[in-house]
Structure 1
Amino acid sequence: MAPTRKLRVCRNPDQIRSVGKYSRSKMYHKRGLWAIKAKNGGVFPQHDPKLEASKPAEKPPKFYPADDVKKPFDQQAQAQNPPSSGPKINGVPLRRVIQSYVIATSTKVDISEINVENFDDKYFTKEAGKKKNKGEGDFFEAEKEKSLPQEKNDDQKAVDSTLIKSIEGVTDLRTYLAARFSLRSGLKPHELVF
């Protein structure tokens, strides 16, 4: 059983709310404040206030936005997402892939002949077209077919032609790339060996 607490009783009970039974001078004697005063030469003891730590001139901000900070130029930040290509075998076009979605395998393909200098972030950015306000007639119009510029089609064909040559040099690599891949529950991509 838990120990019982001793009830604290007020020395000056209220007769009515906020009016005590005893006067201020009676409580002065009852509490023994006269003895404390007499002990210290007729004056209440004064305690020196604690020295506060020096406050900084400016209050530090709670939020540090990274945009306001000048950063040195980092060449890797120019093209963070590596370009990837299917190629034509599995129908994946030339595009950028976020690195956290890339699964490294032990399969290697020689891509030293491919020129990848012009495949930077600017190459993959879309041209921002002007937004026009749609009227009633625009809703019923047939949608225009989206097409890539001829330069990008030529680049894709050039990359595919050199990639397919190097892929055909390795046995069973073509069927390996054409096979479907998916992760099921319980499969750990970092432990898989391809």
Structure 2
Amino acid sequence: MAKTPRYYPAEDIKPAKVVHKVKQNPPRVRKSITPGTVLILLAGRFRGKRVVCLKALESGLLLVSGPYKINGVPLRRVNQAYVIATSTKVDVTGVDVASITDEYFARSKDAPKEAEEEFFAGDAPKPAVVSDQRKADQKKVDESLLKAVGAVPMLEAYLAAQFSLSANDKPHLMKF
């Protein structure tokens, strides 16, 4: 048996904590949402717009596009909680979105921080500028997506139409 020390330390020494790294499982995407499914956006700037799902990203968000030429929705990431999946499908096998990942949408680290004085100076805020690479990627995706949309009759008009509910609509009875 070990002898106890005569004096205790003034500070309690805590044992070193063991850090357990938790590996996140990839998020599950609803069965109704597959690449090519037409989705209705429920929130955000483009709510009420119909978009085409291109793929599910590693973060669990969905990569969608309008196409931009039809309804003005660019390549975006959308949380699946804020969409309704419809039964309409588009063949997106010819659309190449392998290079677009979550890092593609990350903001650049070297963006200059605005000084507080400049903020309060009263100048109008500068509109966000879309990079040339984003424009080129949007054009490339839209080109192949428009071919797929054009192959289905009346799909272009369906995607361009705004979705809304009126007072007498019962969404729980609707089939999308």
Q: Mark yes or no: TM-score above 0.5.
A: yes
1:83 aligned counterpart, secondary structure: strand
2:159 aligned counterpart, secondary structure: helix
CA contact (8 A) 1:111 1:166 kept: yes
Aligned to 1:84: 64
Q: Structure 1, unaligned stretches of length 5 or more?
A: 1-67
1:146 to partner: Cα distance: 2.1
Aligned to 2:158: 176
Asked whether 1:118 is paired with 2:99, we answer: yes
TM-score normalised by structure 2 residue count: 0.62
1:115 to partner: Cα distance: 1.4
Q: Structure 2, unaligned stretches of length 5 or more?
A: 1-18, 29-57
Aligned equivalents of 2:63 and 2:171: distance in 1?
A: 21
Aligned to 2:145: 163
CA contact (8 A) 2:26 2:60 kept: no
Change (3 A) 1:101 1:127: same
- What is the letter of the counterpart of residue 174 of structure 1? E
Pick the structure with more helix per residue: 1
Change (3 A) 1:115 1:162: same
1:140 to partner: Cα distance: 4.3
* RMSD of aligned alpha carbons: 2.6
Change (3 A) 1:189 1:71: farther
Question: Which structure would you say has the larger RCO, counting Cα contacts within 8 Å and 6 or more residues apart?
Answer: 2
Equivalent pairs counted in the alignment come to: 127
Change (3 A) 1:102 1:142: closer
Residues 135-170 of structure 1, C-alpha deviation per residue, up to 9 Å, x if partnerless? 269724454342111111100001111111111111
1:84 aligned counterpart, secondary structure: strand
Q: 98, 120, 130: which one pairs with 2:79?
A: 98
TM-score normalised by structure 1 residue count: 0.56
Aligned equivalents of 1:186 and 1:132: distance in 2?
A: 49
Residues 17-49 of structure 1, C-alpha deviation per residue, up to 9 Å, x if partnerless? xxxxxxxxxxxxxxxxxxxxxxxxxxxxxxxxx
Change (3 A) 1:127 1:187: farther
Q: 141, 146, 149: which one pairs with 2:128?
A: 146
Structure exhibiting the larger radius of gyration computed from Cα positions: 1
Q: 9, 12, 25: which one pairs with 1:74?
A: 25
